[in-house]
Chain A
Amino acid sequence: MRSIRIAALTGALALVVAGCSSGGGDDDSGDEGAAPSGTGPIEIWLSNNEQELAWGQAVVDAWNAEHPDEQVTAQEIPAGASSEEAITAAITAGTAPCLVYNIATAAVSGWVRQGGLVDLAQFDGGAAYITDRGGDAAEAYQTDGGYYQLPWKSNPVMVMYNKALFEQAGLDPEDPGMATYDDFLAGARQIVDSGTSQSAIWPSPTNEFYQPWFDFYPLYLAETGGTQLVEDGAATFDDENGLAVAEFWATIYSEGLAPQEASTDDAMSTGTTAMQLAGPWAIASYSESVDVGFMPVPTSSGEEDVYTFADSKNVSMFTSCENQATAWEFLQFSTSEERDGQLLELTGQMPLRLDLAATYPDYFSANPAYEVFAGQAERAVDVPSVPNSVEAWQAFRDEYSSAVIFGSIGVDEFLANAATTIDGLVAE
């Protein structure tokens, strides 16, 4: 059974690889729709976010009480940049756990190419389970036509602001009126010129491939009504929308409204910045130190109901997993309506399922601060599932950094260069 699965996977993989290198494979003995095999103990990895850990432990305990022969062991993996390399290495060595509850979409294409992830759609009712839970939006998380990740939860990015500092700068803390670029820039200038805080907004100006997700990309999604960075195998951003967003950020940096240097501490809680791009996780983090408000990211025309970046974290199953039937059962158990509700309650993060506000009305009426995110979660878009995703984002970041943050090349040049590089990378 196991060898058949591997053969099926190899076949599927060969199709992927056929596009990347000269080789190909016709060993396609696929058995789609088969029931997963293997029951028994499994291991899962959770992110090290304290609230998420508490949620995960509760779910595992509940499962273990009912399934004495299929015990689940949860381990903590470090959040942040380095968890990806741990997973890459574990796939290569065949030591990955069954499930990881912290998968960023950008890394998935590489792991699929490695043959490390299980297509969940190959299980009985797998695709139906994912689309029933997440709706049509779930389709965006497909890689090469397969569900190698279950869209789990999102942290839609909005503009978080310090109400006290806004008031001090003479802006209305309840309705700042900064939906257009012009108004946003005017408000930002007001904050800095009045000496309220040393910077208006402080996105991390560093070089990591994922940083665009918290400056350029949310505004680009808003400006275009949800167009991803790459669509239909081509970069989309070398146009007037990309230009508008890039020039907006370039203005922010050139006028000194945002520092070119990373903050040495949490700029929001120390009050060195009045705004930050953040998801709902920030509400709990800042509840004690800062009175924060949230507004959608700005666009050039200031339209309502804008799109933004979803910053989702998903769940993947790994091919090295022996007991895939148990893993698949546990995956469904841990993403049920009830468990998603607990996740929402414990972490404030938005489960990627349909009609959040209608599904959990009690939660949102008790926590009005999160309601704005529930609405935004409906219009949240993730990074595209494309080959060489991490490399493409790194190329984008390098060019962005030169042009927008440090102004050493022109914005036009950045868009054209980055689009050419990315077209080449995703076509491979």
Chain B
Amino acid sequence: MRQTSSLLWLRYVLLTIAALMFAFPFYFMVVGAFQENPTNTPDQLVPQSGWTTQNFTNIDSRIDLAGSLVNSLVFTAGVLLGTVVFGLLAGYAMGRLDFRGRGVTWVLMLLVQMVPFQLLMIPLYVQITSSYGLGDTYLGMILPFAINTTAVFIFTQFFRALPREMFEAARIDGASELRILRSIAVPLVRPAIATVVLVTFIGPWNEFLWPFLITKDSSMQPLAVSLANYISNVAQSTSNANGAILAGATALAFPVVILFCLFQRYFTASDLGAAVKG
């Protein structure tokens, strides 16, 4: 560390304050989920009593937690697969290749981001259920999210940032674009894949409106939909509505946070500079 010590301290103070601000509402949520009667007065921030797991037992008795979890995983896995495979291809083309229609594709990518989903929802619903007959299927659920445009953006930016010499050299050696993609681009792109997986993952995992519309069969509903159902239903007929809501929120957040904790080392160790120089 060649930092001056005052700067280092500033860094830690800044990070710690920010981290506390970020983590606090989450702490509040988890603690409240295990409380008989969550309150929001400052002197009860660290509750001494009133612990209960009743809120979670209630959820489990009302919805099929395991089944919805599987639905969520299938939905999410489908979107991830489509995004990583086709998004990587598109991102490489956009970032590294010169081809007719690249400018148009770029504009399209921006446009896709700009148009609010609410505007397209009903035409899309009619198209997918009525024209393709995909209501109550995983494919119908996945289709509108199959290739995450933000992920294509990230891949594109990433490939653009790679030094061009690496690619030029391979081209001069006569390697085909597919081979360059496989042997140079994909190995280098790993940190970006981790980012893309994370960014893409939360979309389908947390998405409520679309799977809600497309699934009428409750055995097909992902966790976000059944929990939202549970929350709206239980909140009007329980004496511990806050506890129920916070427990539902925690149940939805928990798997993601676990996965992230497992995954997160992939964001640190990517010493790309060394890879490029080597």
Contact = CB atoms under 8 A, between A and B. Distances in A.
Nearest to A289: B239
15 contacts: A48-B233, A76-B229, A78-B228, A78-B229, A79-B232, A89-B121, A89-B126, A89-B213, A93-B125, A95-B216, A264-B242, A266-B235, A266-B239, A266-B241, A269-B241
Contact of B125 (A89, A264, A265): A89
A276 to B, nearest CB: 12
Contacts of A82: 212
A95 B122 contact: no
B222 interface: no
A75 B218 contact: yes
The 4 closest A-B CB pairs, nearest first, are A93-B130, A289-B239, A93-B129, A265-B242
Contacts of B237: 49-50, 281, 284-285
Interface string B91-134: 00000000000000000000000000000011001100110000
A269 B218 contact: no
Contacts, number: 71
Interface string B210-247: 00110011100000000011001101111101100000
B204 interface: no
Interface in B7-24: none
B242 A49 contact: no
Contact of B212 (A49, A78, A92): A78
B235 A85 contact: no
Contacts of A49: 233, 237
Chain A interface, >50% SS class: mixed
A77 B218 CA distance: 9
Interface in B165-218: 212-213, 216-218
Contacts of B248: none
A93 B212 contact: no
A92 B122 contact: yes
A367 B225 CA distance: 36
B235 to A, nearest CB: 7
A266 B237 CA distance: 9
A94 interface: yes
A95 B125 CA distance: 10
A243 B226 CA distance: 43
Interface of B: 37, 40, 62, 121-122, 125-126, 129-130, 135, 212-213, 216-218, 228-229, 232-233, 235-239, 241-242
Given A76-B218, A85-B213, A89-B122, A265 B241 contact: yes
Contacts of A362: none
Given A269-B239, A289-B239, A92 B216 contact: no
Nearest to B235: A266
Interface string A80-113: 1010011011101111010000000000000000
Interface string A283-295: 0111011000000
B131 to A, nearest CB: 9
A92 B242 contact: no
A288 B239 contact: yes
A75 B126 contact: no
A172 B241 CA distance: 29
Contact of A93 (B62, B126, B233, B238): B126
Interface of A: 45, 48-50, 75-80, 82, 85-86, 88-90, 92-95, 97, 264-266, 269-270, 281, 284-286, 288-289
A259 to B, nearest CB: 15
Contacts of B235: 266
Contacts of A286: 239
A241 B242 CA distance: 38
Contacts of A78: 212, 228-229, 232-233
A284 B239 CA distance: 11
B212 A86 contact: yes
A75 B233 contact: no
Contacts of B62: 50
A50 B233 contact: yes
Nearest to B127: A93
Nearest to B217: A75
A145 to B, nearest CB: 29
A94 B125 contact: no
B29 to A, nearest CB: 13
Contacts of B236: 266, 285
B241 A93 contact: no
A138 to B, nearest CB: 28
Nearest to B62: A50
Contact of A95 (B129, B212, B229, B238): B129
A266 B38 CA distance: 12
A93 B212 CA distance: 15
Contacts of B126: 89, 92-93
Contact of A75 (B125, B216, B241): B216
A284 B40 CA distance: 27
Contacts of B213: 85-86, 89
B218 A94 contact: no
A79 B230 CA distance: 10
Nearest to B228: A78
A91 to B, nearest CB: 10
A218 B40 CA distance: 33
Given A94-B130, A264-B242, A77 B228 contact: no
Contacts of A284: 237
A90 B242 CA distance: 32
Nearest to B128: A93
B7 to A, nearest CB: 42
A328 B228 CA distance: 32
Nearest to A49: B233
A45 B216 contact: yes
Contacts of A86: 212-213, 216
A50 B61 CA distance: 12
A50 B232 CA distance: 12
Nearest to B218: A76
A92 B218 contact: no
A340 B238 CA distance: 25
A248 to B, nearest CB: 26
A269 B236 CA distance: 11
A180 B238 CA distance: 32
A285 B121 CA distance: 36
Contacts of B216: 45, 75, 77, 86, 90, 95, 97
Nearest to B38: A265
B151 to A, nearest CB: 27
A211 to B, nearest CB: 14
